[in-house]
Structure 1
Amino acid sequence: METRELRYFVTVAEESHVGRAADRLGIAQPPLSRAIAQLERRLGAQLFVRTPRGVTLTQPGETLLREGRAALAAVEAAERRTRRSAVGVGRSPVILTAKAGASSELMLKLLDSYAGTPDAVAVEVLLSAPAHQAPMLRDGRADVAILHRPFDDTSGFDVVELQVEEQVLILPGGHPASSRSSMTVAEATSIPGLPMPRWPQLDGSYPDGPGPELRDLTQVLQLVQLGRTAVVLPDSARADLRGGLTVVPLSDAPQVTTVLAWPPHSTSLAVAGLARTAAEL
């Protein structure tokens, strides 16, 4: 398959409509329809069910969407990393991505320790919204990432564990529930007047619900302080809390494992050095 065909297919799948996909791609609808039909013939599988309202994916189509996105991300990663390596062989900066407002103390320790190693290079830190880190690592916008299991998808990456911790509920100080010594997850997520924030999904959309859309932790903590929401976070979030917030431990929440992740095929000495530093920490 050609990358052009894969991009055509992924765009149609994301739009669920050939006409809208053609507009997004900047091409006419008939050649796009022919390209999809040709791809189906070559693969020997029907990828879409056509309806008057648009198209829906078949099971083979869902498989190709998953694999096709990964393949396109790999092509983009190859291009980006090659361009960066041309800046200065062996000395181009390593790009680390992490959630804005998360793991600040841990990241500071990692970067300080790495900076003290003999072969250290500059580390460019990209702080981004939740759910963005793994895709940025897959498509080459980042070389390494700080991820949090079980929330981030670390499949296909090499990882080294940095820390394992419990989860806690953060809610407004003075709220009746703030006097609790502990809670269950079910209790924490059903406090009247404090709907849980909605975390972004992999495609950037948000699930339906009454809670605010979470874009970064600084934003959501301010909303907690204003009494608009409560949020479940790893226990290390205590270090960044301001006044007017209370922490209640959760008795049955899964532990959060923070990892440093990188592509398994990486040949960057800088990435290797950062991973070695993380393992020593």
Structure 2
Amino acid sequence: MDDLETRELRYFVAVAEELHFGRAADRLGIAQPPLSRAIRQLERRLGVQLLDRNRRGVTLTDAGRVLLREAGTALDAVAAAARRTRRAGDPKRPLVLATKAGASHELLRQLLDTVEREPGAPPVEILLCEVGEQARLLRDGQADVALMHRPYDDLAGFDTEDLYVEGQVAIVPAGHPLAARDKLTLAEVSHVPDLPIARWPRLDGSYPEGPGPEVRTQSKLAQLVALGKTLLVIPASSRAWQWPEHVAVPVVDAPDVTTLLAWPSSSRSLAVASLVRSAAGLRGGALSSPGRSVDPLGDKRRATPP
């Protein structure tokens, strides 16, 4: 029988992550003997050894590593299904829209204004997140829809509606010589000895090689730029979070970035469909058409304080 119970998967994940039955039992709030029995029973049912046990501790076998990866995905899907089901049963619940803090600010403002004018439109709750977190929030059911950016965000498994295309700018310290330039190239911003480009984590959590600082949050990045320790290249509209100590300079050969609305392909939500229609209407009116590079903030290079 190949059916697996979520309880078994939770038990196995705890042991696989802790690599210690005692710590895993404490984490789960159960005694160690029933945990050990549950893992042995799981191995018998699957017909494979998941863990190597010896005096030095516990290690994962090849099969165990596969199950750890698959179990995490399965448990996330179950949790997401529970969240979506509970929220679907609440007719008064708001529609949750995830967006990276500081990004697409003008679009977001216009979208919220448009939705508020729609008769019978559900309220929209904004879930602000850090770079690259929108996909996880959609997949685990914490968000219904998200503002994301191609080619940088993970769009696998989502339906999308393109909203607008724009160029990119380099955010540099106001006192640096680059701040006086009218434009820059990728080659120029990639080889500044005293101002290395900040490094964001990849989808797997690892960082690319390079001399620039490792960053995960906008606030950390903003302060490092203000202190003259790094620079970054971002979509032009994302510079809404700039500090007075920052200057945005266009990077003329940086690839265009498409801002889009994304939602799970399995979604049948009428509220999501209504929001997508509102966003598409903005694209045809106040915003640009896809394929045309724009900056919703105009020619303003220095931003006001947040």
TM-score, L = length of structure 1: 0.82
- Change over 3 Å in CA distance of 1:193–1:184 after alignment to 2: same
Deviations 1:159-199 (A, max 9, x none): 212223333221102313334532326x5345334344443
- Change over 3 Å in CA distance of 1:139–1:179 after alignment to 2: same
Matched, 1:77 2:80: yes
Once the two structures are superposed, the pairs formed by residues 1-281 of structure 1 within 5 Å of their partners are 1-48=4-51, 52=56, 54-56=58-60, 58=62, 60-87=63-90, 89=91, 91-180=92-181, 181-184=183-186, 187-199=188-200, 211=213, 213-215=215-217, 217-250=218-251, 253-280=254-281, 281=283
My pick for the range that moved more, 107-116 or 66-75, is 66-75
Identity rate, percent:
55
- Change over 3 Å in CA distance of 1:84–1:260 after alignment to 2: same
Shift, 1:2, TM fit:
0.8
Rounded Cα–Cα distance in structure 2 between residues aligned with 1:261 and 1:243: 32
Q: Which has the larger radius of gyration?
A: 2
Unaligned 5+ residue runs, structure 2? 284-306
Number of aligned residue pairs: give it.
276
Rounded Cα–Cα distance in structure 2 between residues aligned with 1:57 and 1:100: 40
- Code of the aligned partner of 2:280: A
Shift, 1:274, TM fit:
0.7
Unaligned 5+ residue runs, structure 1? none
Please, what is the CA RMSD of the aligned residues?
A: 3.1
Rounded Cα–Cα distance in structure 2 between residues aligned with 1:18 and 1:168: 51
Deviations 1:137-161 (A, max 9, x none): 1111111111223332221122212
Cα contact 2:102–2:240 (8 A) shared by 1: no
Shift, 1:233, TM fit:
1.2
